[in-house]
Amino acid sequence: MTQLPRSALARDPLATLPGHLHRSGAGLPELRRTAAELRGDTEILRTSLRLLTDDIDALTAVANRSYTHPNGFTKIVLHLGGGYGVRLHVWYAEPPDYGADTNPHGHRWEFASWIVVGELREEIFVEADTGTRHNRFDYSRRNGRADLHRTGTAALQRVGEIARPAGTVYGRARDKVHTVSPTGRGLVVSLVLQGPTAFEPTLVYQPQERPAHEETRLTPDRLQVVLHDVQAAF
């Protein structure tokens, strides 16, 4: 099992985690084990969030790489290094006007997620001869922004639904097509450990009747508000 790096209390205990995962060559099983260790020692995350909230320079740096995601959550990129990342995903009780996750998608990287607060519903999809018709895209990132290249249409069928309550740790490979949406009326928070990005794009499907929503960058002030909300719920 990975031994999580420890720092002095005056330093962010998550800051060196991406580099640590890089040096160990962590794959999906190791990402899941590390997420489970973090779940077992919640003071690591509490300390990290407390230090970030009180540091305007760190807040500005994190805000510059964080944004509201088209799938309905706030994506906070806490740390990056060696191709690995530590992120916080936050869903509010009242979702933005573009709603919850309606875009089935894969990923360009493996990840493990610990549900810190609330509950998520994961739905799994496959392409099929019959089902709900979606526009099909190759998704990648260009200059820090989403790059969607339409490749046609596809019918999708839902083949699974999984409840992910607080305390759950789970992982996903790059090729699994899913949606993730909050359940209930309270705040939902997950901590995500991201593996190295693959060079090839991943698949994203959008309902034909629903236009895409643009990402919106966070300001340091808005990020501070979200972090206070997370700490209150945590």
Listed in sequence order, the residues at least 6 apart from 211 whose beta carbon sits closer than 8 Å to its beta carbon are: none
| pLDDT surpassing 50 at residue 186 | yes
What is the rounded CA–CA span in Å between residue 181 and residue 188? 9
Higher-scoring residue by pLDDT: 219, 148: 219
The structure's pTM equals: 0.87
Classify residue 227: in a domain, yes or no: yes
> How many domains in the chain?
1
Identify whether 211 is part of a domain: yes
Longest dimension (CA), the chain: 57
3-class secondary-structure state, position 100: coil
DSSP string, 141-202: EETTEEEEEEEEEEEEEEEEEEEEETT-EEEE-TT-EEEEEEESSS-EEEEEEE-PPPSS-E
CATH number at residue 166: 2.60.120.10
Alpha helices in 2-55 (DSSP H): 17-24, 28-40, 43-53
- The arithmetic mean of pLDDT across residues 197-203, rounded, is 82
Does a structural domain hold residue 11? no
Kindly state whether residue 203 falls inside one of the protein's structural domains. yes
Residue 145 covered by a domain: yes
Rounded to whole angstroms, the Cα distance separating 31 from 80 reads 15
Give the pLDDT confidence of 26-82 residue by residue, as tens digits: 999 999 999 999 999 999 999 999 999 999 999 999 999 999 887 889 999 999 999
User: CA end-to-end span of the chain, whole Å?
Assistant: 26
> Is 140 domain-assigned?
yes
Q: Which domain range does residue 186 map to?
A: 17-233
Please indicate, yes or no, if residue 6 is contained in any of the structural domains. no
Predicted confidence (pLDDT) per residue in 129-155, tens digit: 998 899 999 888 776 666 778 899 999
Instruction: Tell me the C-alpha distance between 138 and 161, whole Å.
Output: 24
